[in-house]
A and B are shown apart, each in its own frame.
Chain A
């Protein structure tokens, strides 16, 4: 083993590693600006996806309930923010008041979905959640008549950005002589949020609740026999997963400044599920990796495919977006073929796989 990574004998290396990662993350936006301003924005969206994937991981990875309509909670959070901080109703509440409201509303929707589906397992649950996601989207699309609530397919524009006192997250300003653009400010905000949520996730996984979820996932009947209130645990998983989605949605609303039902289509739900499964269900770091990969690789492809075609054929043969999606689809298939438990499988999943092979 390379001595540099021998953390077992040298625990201080862990902290050194954390320090290096932290430093890289802190400097990252300024490095990205050198490549292109849009990369900071792309990074921000990637972090939002990490947030979403972590939330879904609670439902899918920890509690083992496959949710294919997760984007609905993102949508609920986003619309909650948009309605309470935009000219739509003339309301302009501060973000620290709205984000908790968004999380609560999303959690309520999570329970709303969870309660009638408690009896269902596996694929059936997947399809019901998928249907739920579609229902939410159809309602967002049509709740402009007879009373205009969501403004229908046109969506809601001019959503307030985050502001604390006079500090506006959307506009550029110079701090200590360094030019800091809006996306960079949001980057740091998202970074702080993601660190907090990672801590919550890690603590949750090894807590009493986390172990109860694991028990429910592995064998619901046995879990109930051991005195776990499975109904509560499943509802809790739905509610917590949903509230993460709600917070992410609120952030999305504020960063984007404009939302419409277009952003909350089925493909998005599938994308988040793919992130969780690709990284390794139930493994927090795997999920983070999966989310980062699936949000960055398509962007990198978008930036490389066109020049390559220009060089090879002298013109654009196929749109970059098409190639991007083709490679993305193929990658999903290939990864499942060669690493069906994800890139970084969780310990439990590894054990399960071994058992299944033996059986």
Chain B
């Protein structure tokens, strides 16, 4: 099996999920310059709601695809309601406050959501029922499952839909106008509050779908799953240029692939026994095909942050960002 291609396939799948979550961050940041810390938690709630629906319907003998669709159909409105409530109650009153205030408020919201989830779904890792039978296909030496294919297709459909919404509709024009200058947009007749609320609701809906995808992909869910995923998606958004919608998509996919390739190869690259001049130094530990691996694939989570730091240091506006440089 071709490891390189396999890792690219895995990375692409995960990366497209990152991209969908990153869209939520980037849209909100683009419009009100707020890092919505609680966004990852919305993803988690989406996964949890879908889990409940899928488990209760799994035994009913309905076609699996329909069950998953129903799960998504329940998770999306719940998350949208949460997104709306969160904007209305925790962020809108703080729009003119010092910059740190909404950030702290967002942290508060994220704690509340996490522990609401603990109340409803307990602390335990819960297993998603595997109702979709996994089929594998061979793709030039790499294997790809039907779940992966579905995730990829769904993510790209979502991204295309969102691009259409933002660049081709009245609402999208209003969103872009608000992002550029809320006051002037307001003067031009845009209902700024409604646009911002809509942005949150759309982001939360995307998060719900992403939550279901992550849940079905890994087969597990837990109340903490949102925070790391959220952080990585945020890294993806920054990598692409925060506030920039195509950037978030690109950033997510690139980050997913970098992570997968990094995890796949770092063990080999830092195996000191590979390097002849060090082999003598390490002596018996390398003898007979032994390994002396400095960093293994358990450092996978580091890549997102290293990429983030490198991007911010060398190209702070991200891959596709052009106007954000000194906005912060």
Contacts and interface: CB of A to CB of B under 8 A. Distances in A.
Interface residues of B, number: 52
A87 to B, nearest CB: 24
B305 A131 contact: yes
Contact of A332 (B104, B115, B304): B104
B61 interface: no
A82 interface: no
Interface residues of A, number: 51
B98 A340 contact: yes
A116 interface: yes
Interface in A116-156: 116-117, 119-128, 130-132, 134-135, 138-139, 141-142, 145-146
A274 B328 contact: no
B188 interface: no
Contacts of B298: 141-142
B313 A119 contact: yes
A346 to B, nearest CB: 11
Interface string B109-120: 111101110110
Contacts of B234: 127
Contact of B328 (A122, A145, A319, A325): A122
A116 B313 contact: yes
A331 interface: yes
A135 B299 CA distance: 9
Nearest to B96: A356
Contacts, number: 143
Contacts of B323: none
Given A333-B90, A333-B105, A357-B96, A134 B112 contact: no
A354 B103 CA distance: 20
B293 interface: yes
B107 A121 contact: no
B93 interface: yes
B108 A341 contact: no
Contacts of A66: 100, 103
B104 A277 contact: yes
A331 B308 contact: no
A70 to B, nearest CB: 14
Contacts of B118: 319, 322, 325
Contacts of B305: 131-132, 134-135
Contacts of B312: 117, 120, 124, 127-128
A134 B231 contact: yes
Given A124-B316, A146-B293, A333-B109, A132 B97 contact: no
Contacts of A356: 96, 98
A331 B33 CA distance: 23
Interface string B16-52: 0000000000000000010100000000000000000
B302 interface: yes
A325 B108 contact: no
A333 B108 contact: yes
A266 interface: yes
Interface string B289-317: 00011111011011011101100110010
B94 A336 contact: yes
A273 interface: yes
A131 B308 contact: yes
Contact of B101 (A116, A120, A126, A340): A340
Interface in A68-83: none
A178 interface: no
Nearest to B238: A127
Contacts of B299: 138, 142
B294 A127 contact: no
B115 A352 contact: no
Interface string A247-285: 000000000000000000010001001100110010000
15 contacts: A117-B309, A117-B313, A123-B103, A130-B231, A131-B231, A135-B306, A141-B298, A270-B107, A273-B104, A277-B101, A278-B104, A329-B107, A332-B104, A333-B89, A356-B98
Question: Which 10 pairs between the two chains have the least Cβ-Cβ distance?
Answer: A332-B108, A329-B111, A131-B305, A329-B112, A122-B328, A340-B97, A333-B108, A340-B101, A336-B105, A325-B115
Given A146-B293, A329-B109, A336-B101, 19 more contacts: A66-B103, A116-B309, A116-B313, A121-B328, A123-B33, A123-B35, A124-B238, A127-B312, A128-B308, A128-B312, A131-B305, A134-B302, A274-B107, A325-B114, A325-B118, A332-B107, A333-B90, A340-B98, A356-B98
